[in-house]
Amino acid sequence: MPGFALTHLHKSFGNTSVLNDISLEASDGEFVVLLGPSGCGKSTLLRIIAGLEAQTSGSVSIGNQTVDALPPRDRDIAMVFQQYALYPHLTVRENLAFGLKVRKEPSSVIEERIGEAAELLEIHDLLDRKPKELSGGQRQRVAMGRAIVRKPKLFLFDEPLSNLDARLRASMRVELKKLHQRLGVTMVYVTHDQIEAMTLGEKIVVMDQGRILQIGTPDRIYHQPSNPFVAGFIGNPPMNLIKGTVQANHKNLEFQAGDFTLRFNARVDITPTLGSGSAILGIRPEDVGLDPPGAIHITLSGTIDLIENLGGDHIVYLVAQGQRLVARTSPDSRRRAGDSITAYLLLNKLHLFIHEQRTLLESYK
């Protein structure tokens, strides 16, 4: 049984298109993260899955059932909202019971479910309080409890941690992960926070401007971003992206940006199709070294602009052959701003994007 599936979803408000041809599938029990900057359409997509918003065209199915015609209450889903949306006039216990009561579950079942959820989330002591007497983290737990008691087929989370302080967010992240392992239910989680996406997601869906840019495991998204947007969005500090031009023929492929040229041996079968045009070369800061590495690399000479000391790491901003680069290195107290250095770029960690698409650079040597 699939967890859920979206096929060719479109959504527009008037003339503004907010979602464009969204197709996505998740297997049962999978943790799917919708990641993207604000306004990319991820929340709208979640609301369409919930049935709170109607799609303009396309189809949503949950489990084996197409739910396009069903109102939210019949979709067998639960949702945790950004502001928690706890009913202020009800106690925690009544909040948890609400969805079950509306569905006319017998009170013995309701009691049992509340007991389970309270134990799981350790909110036993809070059951008789009103939401306004709870701290942010406690509200968050109650909101999750309200979703858990329903035992839905699908959990939806709309940036549920964004209102917590950094420390609480980190610990709730861990709990959420455990919860998912425990319940084994399909979850869809919307966030703009790449750390949440990387740590929680089994499948990350990167979105921008109403389109899906890449779907993949956290590893794949990080190490093989399929386009410059994904490359730049994931990772902190972000990947170095050097804009330039590319020229390709049967013999070789040449990337040029300013006075910086990079030549690769050609791969006969595909290189001619690349032709020439604009291209972007990317490399992650941790793959830019200031000490000679063992692996195959290219070198650039330049000067240090600024050093940020993070304790465990140094973030070094440098200008090399006309290009601004950021390097993440191990601390070296001898380096100073203004020093001349040599930067080493690991060749097998270079990403080349031509026509906004990732090119199989591994093949070039």
Partner 1 sequence: MTKPFSERLALIIGIAVAVLGSLLPFIWFVLTSLKSQIQVEAIPPTWWPDGSIVFYQSAIIDHQLFNYIWNSVIVASSTTIIALTIATPAAYALARIRLHGKVWILSGLLCVAMFPQIVIAGPVWQILKHIGGLNTHWGLVLPYVTLTLPLAVWILATFFKELPHELAEAAQIDGCTTWQALYKVMLPLAAPGLFTAAILTFIYAWNEFFFALLFLTDPAKQTLPVGIALFQGEFTMPWGEIAAASVLATLPLIFLVLLFQRGIISGLSSGAVKG
Residues near partner 1 (CB under 8 A) are 50-52, 71-73, 77-79, 81-85, 87-89, 98-99, 102-103, 146, 150
Q: How many residues does the chain have?
A: 365
Partnered with residue 320 across adjacent β-strands are: 302, 323
Count CB-CB contacts under 10 A for residue 219.
10
Q: Which two tokens stand for residue 93?
A: 């216990």
**What span, in angstroms and rounded, lies between the C-alpha atoms of 115 and 95?**
13
Nearer CB in complex with partner 1: 186/194 = 186
Nearer CB in complex with partner 1: 150/203 = 150
Q: How far is the CB of 226 from partner 1 (least distance, A)?
A: 34
Q: How far is the CB of 107 from partner 1 (least distance, A)?
A: 16
Q: How far is the CB of 134 from partner 1 (least distance, A)?
A: 16
Q: Which of 238, 260, 248 is nearest to 361 (CA)?
A: 248
The secondary structure element, H or E, covering residue 199 is helix 194-200
Q: How far is the CB of 146 from partner 1 (least distance, A)?
A: 7
Contact status, residue 20 vs residue 211, Cβ threshold 8 Å: yes
Nearer CB in complex with partner 1: 97/198 = 97
Nearer CB in complex with partner 1: 158/208 = 158
Q: How far is the CB of 90 from partner 1 (least distance, A)?
A: 9
Q: How far is the CB of 289 from partner 1 (least distance, A)?
A: 48
**What span, in angstroms and rounded, lies between the C-alpha atoms of 189 and 56?**
22
Contact status, residue 22 vs residue 45, Cβ threshold 8 Å: yes
Q: Which two tokens stand for residue 240?
A: 């170095």
Nearer CB in complex with partner 1: 51/218 = 51
**What span, in angstroms and rounded, lies between the C-alpha atoms of 167 and 218?**
23
Nearer CB in complex with partner 1: 71/294 = 71
φ/ψ bin of 267: left (φ > 0), alpha (ψ from -120 to 50), beta (otherwise): beta
Nearer CB in complex with partner 1: 107/348 = 107
Q: How far is the CB of 80 from partner 1 (least distance, A)?
A: 9
Q: List Cβ neighbours of 89 (8 Å cut-off, separation of 6 or more).
A: 130
